[in-house]
């Protein structure tokens, strides 16, 4: 085997740059600390990236169905599902399964509601998911008032457990990402999502059940957001009402940085992991350098704008 | 006449005014005294900055984009207004001009690279917030005296917020709906290809619209500190959601350059009244955002019904 073609093939992968960025940022961090804490930083990055990856995959499927498709209700769904799950389980291990089912059910309801708004009321997805997120967030606030319930011991243990410095949750979600990669590239559902994103009309003429696929996609995104809320509440020792906040930018940013086309029709799963790690390591690096909160915010924003500028918006196909 | 009044077009145009009227009517029902000069002045206090920010969002929506950064941008201009503008007016004016220029640049970038505006503005919202935190790390500062004086004006007979909202609505209406370049600007949202073929620069329309949005964002920030008299980086975080809701409530379509300045002003006033209405109806504040979502969905549903008759 010649090594050059492999290298060339790697460079052509859209997700490779997120991994390059991740390694550069990590090296910059550990060279600043003189090599200390390099492994700990990676462990922390794996832990926190996991949650962004879960919602990022859902957001990726939504964005891939074409321009104008985006799920802005993810943060509200995370908070809602976390609050409901914590309250139902009430810290008891025996309720774990029921809590998970109810939590995923919350996601299912939000997803179906989102799609109803889009389909029945013909509201553009951005406005539809935004309006429903207001309702969901209010429900979470009203329901979770004064919520200070610890997650069941088993869930907290599972969410924070590590093997040789690798979080168990990260391994599970990595496996899930592989499955979703296969779903995207090798199943009728995944191929249909890509086809709709490339040209909705052509996909419809080719006999793809466009509306069924879109329905499944919005439900998938909401259910994954609910799942994220469930494990995130376990990880951080309870649900809080603003715990979903950072995932609005997070979920969209990892999709874009990971090399998925925002114009739809082109997606990849590996990039989401790379981008999620990159985003966390970037903040860690800026913290290590002693940057103030203001500088950190500015650089985070500028990097997202720079990445999207370089990636460019593909001309929408019509 | 009756045929015209019940035509989809007239109904659609009347929807914002009707929703505002209904909310006012319910408030009057609960407390007749609230709908007086003093009461309206108090209830609509914060309507002016919300209206200005909503107009800014409307400019962006006109050219088929969406601004998810307007809230933090208003926060930034409020911080600059409460620090630089009050201490060294020249520097303050330069800084605010630079903010508007930055908006023009964002518009140019979005057009040049054909970027999705929600990703770019979401990224920019972090930049504005970061600068605001650097300018004013903790809430404070003081608004310039003249800003406070303008916002504290006592107009005869009609409360100042209503007068200000009317002036804003009418000025923008004539600039965007009645001027010939306004037609080009809206056309750039409705049918960019046609406008481009007719020889107009689409880059310029985008820059003009983003610049106008930046300008109104600055005005909104100043109006806000005129009321609060101090600045805070997070002072206007909710404005991003409020302004999008305001434009939609005011009859703006999400794509296609179909917007209405007067409607947007009414939408903003409706939004400003909603919390008061919920207060009168004794609905817990937990449901305030939820009510916003509910009102949005109801109005959009009504509009679908009206449009269906047109089809």
Q: In Å, what is the CA distance from A45 to each residue of A173, A275, B87, B230?
A: 14, 11, 43, 38
Could you tell me which chain A residue has the CA closest to the CA of B301?
A: A121
Backbone angles phi, psi at B231, to 5 degrees: -110, 165
Q: What is the mean pLDDT of residues A311-315?
A: 60
Q: Is B140 in a helix, a strand, or coil?
A: strand
Distance from CA of A258 to the nearest CA of B (A): 14
Q: Give A151-178 pLDDT, tens digit per residue.
A: 898 999 999 888 888 999 999 999 999 9
A13 vs A2, more confident: A13
pLDDT band at A317 (very low <50, low <70, confident <90, very high): very low
The range of the structural domain enclosing residue A268 comes to: 41-279
Say which of A256, A295, A315 has its CB closest to residue B130: A295
Share above pLDDT 70 across residues of chain A, in percent, rounded to a whole number: 96
Is residue A260 within 8 A of residue B96, CB to CB? The reply is no
CB contact under 8 A, A134 and B293: yes
CB contact under 8 A, A313 and B113: yes
In a domain, A290, yes or no: no
With a CB cutoff of 8 Å and minimum separation 6, the contacts of B139 are B230, B231, B232, B233, B235
Q: Which of B76, B286, B287, B299 to mutate to test the interface with A (most CBs of A within 10 A)?
A: B286
What are the tokens at A87?
A: 């309250």
Q: Which residues of A159-198 are buried (b: 16+ CB within 10 A; e: fewer)?
A: beeeeeeebebbeebeebbeebbebbeeeeebbbbbbbbb
Closest CA to A139 of A241, A221, A239: A241
Is residue A264 within 8 A of residue A66, CB to CB? The reply is yes
In a domain, A97, yes or no: yes
Distance from CA of A158 to the nearest CA of B (A): 33
Enumerate the β-bridge partners of residue A167: A162
In a domain, A169, yes or no: yes
Q: In Å, what is the CA distance from B200 to each residue of B59, B64, B221?
A: 18, 17, 32
With a CB cutoff of 8 Å and minimum separation 6, the contacts of B199 are none
In a domain, A192, yes or no: yes
With a CB cutoff of 8 Å and minimum separation 6, the contacts of B270 are B16, B19, B20, B23, B246, B249, B295
* pLDDT score for A314: 55
pLDDT band at A312 (very low <50, low <70, confident <90, very high): low
Is residue A41 within 8 A of residue A26, CB to CB? The reply is yes
In DSSP notation, A203-249 reads HHHTT--HHHHHHHHHHHHHHHHHHHHHHHHHHTTS--TTTTTTHHH
* pLDDT score for A313: 58
| Predicted ipTM of the assembly | 0.87
Q: How far apart are CA B261 and CA B59, in angstroms?
A: 9
Distance from CA of B36 to the nearest CA of A (A): 31
Boundaries of every domain in chain B: 34-310
pLDDT band at A209 (very low <50, low <70, confident <90, very high): very high
A37 vs B177, more confident: B177
With a CB cutoff of 8 Å and minimum separation 6, the contacts of A306 are none
In a domain, A162, yes or no: yes
In a domain, A32, yes or no: no
Closest CA to B106 of B85, B128, B84, B134: B128
Q: Mean pLDDT in runs of 10 for chain B (311 residues)?
A: 75 86 91 86 90 96 92 96 93 96 96 88 94 93 91 89 94 93 91 91 95 97 93 90 89 81 94 87 84 86 80 60
In a domain, A15, yes or no: no
Q: Give A243-283 pLDDT, tens digit per residue.
A: 888 898 889 989 988 888 888 888 999 999 999 999 999 98
* pLDDT score for B155: 87
The count of domains in chain A is 1
Average per-residue pLDDT in chain A?
89
């Amino acid at each position: 085997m010649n090594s050059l073609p492999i290298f060339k093939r790697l460079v052509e992968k859209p997700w490779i740059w997120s991994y390059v960025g991740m390694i550069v940022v990590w090296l910059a961090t550990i060279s600043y600390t003189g090599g200390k804490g390099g492994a700990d930083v990676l462990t922390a990055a794996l832990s926190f990236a996991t949650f962004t990856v879960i919602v990022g995959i859902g957001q990726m499927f939504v964005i891939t169905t074409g321009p104008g498709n985006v799920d802005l209700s993810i943060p509200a769904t995370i908070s809602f599902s976390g609050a409901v799950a914590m309250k139902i389980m009430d810290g008891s291990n025996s309720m774990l399964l029921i809590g998970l089912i109810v939590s995923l059910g919350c996601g299912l309801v939000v997803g179906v509601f989102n799609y109803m708004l889009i389909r029945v009321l013909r509201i553009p997805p951005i406005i539809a998911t935004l309006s429903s997120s207001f309702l969901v967030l209010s429900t979470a606030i009203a329901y979770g008032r004064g919520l200070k319930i610890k997650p069941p011991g088993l869930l907290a243990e599972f969410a924070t457990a590590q093997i040789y410095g690798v979080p168990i949750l990260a391994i599970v979600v990595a496996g899930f990402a592989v499955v979703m990669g296969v779903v995207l590239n090798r199943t009728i559902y995944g191929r249909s999502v890509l086809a709709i994103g490339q040209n909705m009309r052509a996909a419809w003429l080719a006999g793809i059940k466009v509306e069924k696929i879109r329905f499944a996609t919005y439900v998938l995104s909401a259910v994954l957001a609910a799942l994220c809320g469930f494990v995130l509440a376990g990880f951080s020792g309870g649900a809080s009402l603003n715990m979903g906040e950072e995932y609005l930018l997070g979920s969209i940013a990892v999709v874009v940085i990971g090399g998925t086309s925002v114009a739809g029709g082109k997606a990849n799963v590996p990039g989401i992991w790379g981008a999620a790690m990159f985003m966390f390591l970037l903040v860690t690096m800026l913290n290590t350098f002693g940057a103030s909160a203001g500088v950190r915010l500015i650089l985070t924003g500028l990097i997202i704008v720079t990445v999207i500028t370089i990636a460019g918006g593909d001309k929408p196909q019509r | 006449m009756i045929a015209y009044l019940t035509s989809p077009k007239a109904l659609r145009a009347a929807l914002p005014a009707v929703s505002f009227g209904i909310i006012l009517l319910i408030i009057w029902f609960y407390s007749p005294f609230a709908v007086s000069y003093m009461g309206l002045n108090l209830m609509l206090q914060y309507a002016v900055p919300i209206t200005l920010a909503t107009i800014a969002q409307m400019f962006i929506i006109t050219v088929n984009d969406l601004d998810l950064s307007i809230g933090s941008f208003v926060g930034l201009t409020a911080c600059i207004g409460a620090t630089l503008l009050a201490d060294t007016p020249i520097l303050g004016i330069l800084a605010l001009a630079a903010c508007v220029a930055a908006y023009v640049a964002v518009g140019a970038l979005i057009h040049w690279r054909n970027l999705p505006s929600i990703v770019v503005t979401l990224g920019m919202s972090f930049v504005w917030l970061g600068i605001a935190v650097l300018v004013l790390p903790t809430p404070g500062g003081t608004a310039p005296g003249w800003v406070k004086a303008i916002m504290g004006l006592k107009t005869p007979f009609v409360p100042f917020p209503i007068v200000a909202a009317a002036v804003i609505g009418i000025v923008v209406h004539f600039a965007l709906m009645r001027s010939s370049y306004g037609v080009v600007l809206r056309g750039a949202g409705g049918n960019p290809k046609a406008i481009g073929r007719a020889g107009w620069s689409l880059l310029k329309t985008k820059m003009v619209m983003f610049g106008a949005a930046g300008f109104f964002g600055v005005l909104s920030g100043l109006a806000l500190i005129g009321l609060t008299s101090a600045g805070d980086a997070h002072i206007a975080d909710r404005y991003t959601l409020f302004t999008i809701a305001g434009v939609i409530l005011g009859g703006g379509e999400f794509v296609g350059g179909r917007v209405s300045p007067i409607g947007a002003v009414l939408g903003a006033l409706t939004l400003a009244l909603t919390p008061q209405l919920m207060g009168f109806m004794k609905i817990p504040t937990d449901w305030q955002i939820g009510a916003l979502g509910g009102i949005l969905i109801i109005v959009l549903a009504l509009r679908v019904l009206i449009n269906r008759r047109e089809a």
